[in-house]
Structure 1
Amino acid sequence: MSTTHDHGHDELEPRDTAGSDLALRQGDDAVDKFENPGFGPHRPRRSDVEPEANKRAERQVVALFTISILGTIGFVAAYFALPPGETIASMRVSNLALGLGLAFALLGIGLAAVHWAKSLMNDHEKAEDRHAQRSSDQTRAEAVAALKEGAQDSAIGRRGVLKGALVSSLALFPLTIALPLIGEVGEDWNVSKFKRTMWARNKKLTIDPTGRPIKASDVTIGSVVHVIPEGLHETEAPLDEKAKAVVLLVRLDPRDIKSEQGEGWSYDGIVAFSKICTHVGCPVALYEQHTHHLLCPCHQSTFDVADGAKVVFGPAKRPLPQLPITVDDEGYLVAQSDFHEPIGPSFWERLR
């Protein structure tokens, strides 16, 4: 039977759906109509047919494991010989040396494992039918036999140098993780230094980097000022102590303030928050005036200044700590005290 369109188009043959309907009715049985293509022909590698190529591949794998070993040794040596120090230059050199050591330690193991698998291990494709999760005892015994066969295929038992390089690189690599966690011998483990900064009662807020004291009347609504404690640049405090004290000062319309972390911690709409993000410690410096949001450029954590700097977006889990402020008799902005909680990311004694 044929049909004709009203607009004079050519006749079209109706679609034969009998075959598809039969396949639907048969369900899984319809799969039997398709032949299993099987595996393609196996192509031997040069290392399979040429003994010299096989030995060359083994030497290459050993060399890659040796690179990993040297990388780990270099990391350990750099950790003790090149401490970060107090200057940006010394920190840069220390981080570069540690990073290169860790990179070669990881890269050597990874490349060696891939090259070993591609050039020395058995590359024949195998397929197994799916079975119940709990295999029979016979199947489990066959699995153990297959593992032994795989170990024989890798020839690890006959390659002493290769086995030694593998064990050495894997045994040494954990040092690159353990050393930074354990720390140097005699390191100060007093975590109370994370809980305080250079801010103190009646310490004036000064503009960064000039150090000029700032009056409340100098801050207009919508403006943002980066501030530091008075006399910060004149002190001999370590660089990390100075970095912890940086603060962001924002002035809002007092009617826009929804909440603050402590009663009376702001002054006439002026609020001050730590500039150190509570995620991983990046500097929070991008302010959106219309929404009163502070943005961390590293991982996009967003804080609402009008609502106690609570997190509104991103991976940070805690609000930015608020610095309690007021004004002195001359109208200068001063701190009421230090921060009431540790600034920056969480640590082992600061889980929230």
Structure 2
Amino acid sequence: MSIEQPRGSHDLQQSESGEVEHPERFENPGLPPHRPRLGDEDPKANKRSEHQVVVLFVISIIATIAAIWGFFAFPVDGLQVGNVRMSTLVIGLGLGLGMLGIGVGAVHWAKTLMNDHEKVEERHPQRGDDATRAEAVDIMREGVEDSAIARRPLIKGALGTAVAIAPLSFLVPLIGNLGGDWDISKFRHTAWASAPGGGRRYLATDPTDRRIKASEVTRGSMVHVQPWRLEEEENFLEEKTKAVVILMRLDPKLLKEPEEKKDWSYDGIVAYSKVCTHVGCPVALYEQQTHHVLCPCHQSTFDITDQAKVIFGPAKRPLPQLPIAVDEEGYLYAQSDFHEPVGPSFWERER
């Protein structure tokens, strides 16, 4: 049984010879019927949508105020762990919810309250004459009228307030920190320079703070170390940020050491700053076969066999080396501080 389908004016025609004849043009099917929204027919639904938009903008306002409050409520001058955690959490949530409230509110406003009738704009040559400019102005005026912002003062006030105070969550922490300590000379010295009460500054495992012996460092491994008993000192986190070190043991024959640095290592054990010289990220990835260490942030790569020189990436100088030695019991200690400032290359380098 065969079914005969009706032909439209735009359907493909088949000639008696069996060849398909293509029509010269297709008719414009036009726009589909407009489907009104609930708010277009129900005033209560329209008002409810307006209130929802206002609530979203108010959430943005409250979140921005909370972010500003968090900056002052949890000062991080002393780098207390609890304050750093709470400040980051509150400011981050405030920024996120503040921006999210404005964005979702604007989208909801456009989808539920603005004119959603389909419109067709015929193509025409693009010309920058006076008539075109006048038409563009009319379109913008029509958009303002469609938004009904003039007839919705509640939304206008909520949106204006949310947008006006949103930048404060960025500016207040920035301005508040401008009066901080900008003494970059502190980066010239670290906790390795001296131990409390004098004596030697031993290398200890990070974060367990256990002194480490040279015999515990095996070939092909990387050990993350910090100054021993550093937690007992003032500004512990600030000092640890500068003093963290990576410790590795290689075959002494592989080390390319200048004469003045021959005694900076011990039996193939070398210690270098963990702070990348690009922007200060922690250098924490070790390629055992190549003896390269990598910074995960921007892939700066340093050759441990050759004084931690840069062989790839944006870093411009080697990782500073920490001179180490071993005491009578086999424990590793720092002979002195780093001989150059640790961290990014944009710090002043002249001593």
User: Is this contact kept in 2: 1:198–1:245, CA < 8 A?
Assistant: yes
- The 5 A counterparts of 1:171-320 are 171-184=164-177, 186-200=179-193, 204-208=201-205, 209-212=208-211, 214-215=213-214, 219-257=217-255, 266-267=264-265, 269-277=268-276, 283-296=282-295, 303-307=302-306, 308=308, 310=310, 312=312, 317=315
Aligned length: 321
TM-score w.r.t. the length of structure 1 is: 0.75
Alignment-derived partner of residue 143 in structure 1: 136
- 1:70, distance to aligned residue in structure 2 (A): 0.7
Amino acid at match of 1:177: F
Whole-angstrom distance in 2 between the partners of 1:98 and 1:92 = 10
- 1:71, distance to aligned residue in structure 2 (A): 0.7
User: Is this contact kept in 1: 2:242–2:275, CA < 8 A?
Assistant: yes
Alignment-derived partner of residue 55 in structure 1: 47
CA RMSD between the two structures:
3.7
- 1:116, distance to aligned residue in structure 2 (A): 0.6
User: Is this contact kept in 1: 2:202–2:227, CA < 8 A?
Assistant: yes
- 1:107, distance to aligned residue in structure 2 (A): 1.7
| Cα deviation 1:164-220 (Å, max 9, x = unaligned) | 1111100000011112222258533333334542222796441213442644x6644
User: Is this contact kept in 1: 2:192–2:243, CA < 8 A?
Assistant: yes
Alignment-derived partner of residue 82 in structure 1: 74
- 1:146, distance to aligned residue in structure 2 (A): 0.3
- The 5 A counterparts of 1:107-186 are 107-129=100-122, 134-184=127-177, 186=179
- 1:93, distance to aligned residue in structure 2 (A): 2.3
Gaps of 5+ in 1: 1-15, 24-29
TM-score w.r.t. the length of structure 2 is: 0.75
Given candidates 96, 102, 106, the residue that maps to 2:99 is 106
- 1:81, distance to aligned residue in structure 2 (A): 1.3
Alignment-derived partner of residue 36 in structure 2: 44
Amino acid at match of 1:239: L
User: Is this contact kept in 2: 1:213–1:230, CA < 8 A?
Assistant: no
SS of structure 2 residue aligned to 1:183: helix
Change (3 A) 1:326 1:94: closer
Greater shift after overlay, 321-330 or 173-182? Answer: 321-330
Amino acid at match of 2:182: W
Whole-angstrom distance in 2 between the partners of 1:318 and 1:36 = 63
| Cα deviation 1:110-149 (Å, max 9, x = unaligned) | 1101101101112223343555665322112101100000
Alignment-derived partner of residue 321 in structure 2: 323
User: Is this contact kept in 2: 1:102–1:176, CA < 8 A?
Assistant: yes
User: Is this contact kept in 1: 2:323–2:338, CA < 8 A?
Assistant: no
SS of structure 2 residue aligned to 1:52: helix
User: Is this contact kept in 2: 1:62–1:165, CA < 8 A?
Assistant: yes
Amino acid at match of 2:304: V
Amino acid at match of 1:113: A
Alignment-derived partner of residue 342 in structure 1: 342
User: Is this contact kept in 2: 1:198–1:338, CA < 8 A?
Assistant: no
SS of structure 1 residue aligned to 2:340: coil
Alignment-derived partner of residue 6 in structure 1: none
Amino acid at match of 2:93: L
Gaps of 5+ in 2: 1-16
Amino acid at match of 2:50: E
Change (3 A) 1:275 1:324: closer
SS of structure 2 residue aligned to 1:123: coil
Whole-angstrom distance in 2 between the partners of 1:115 and 1:195 = 54
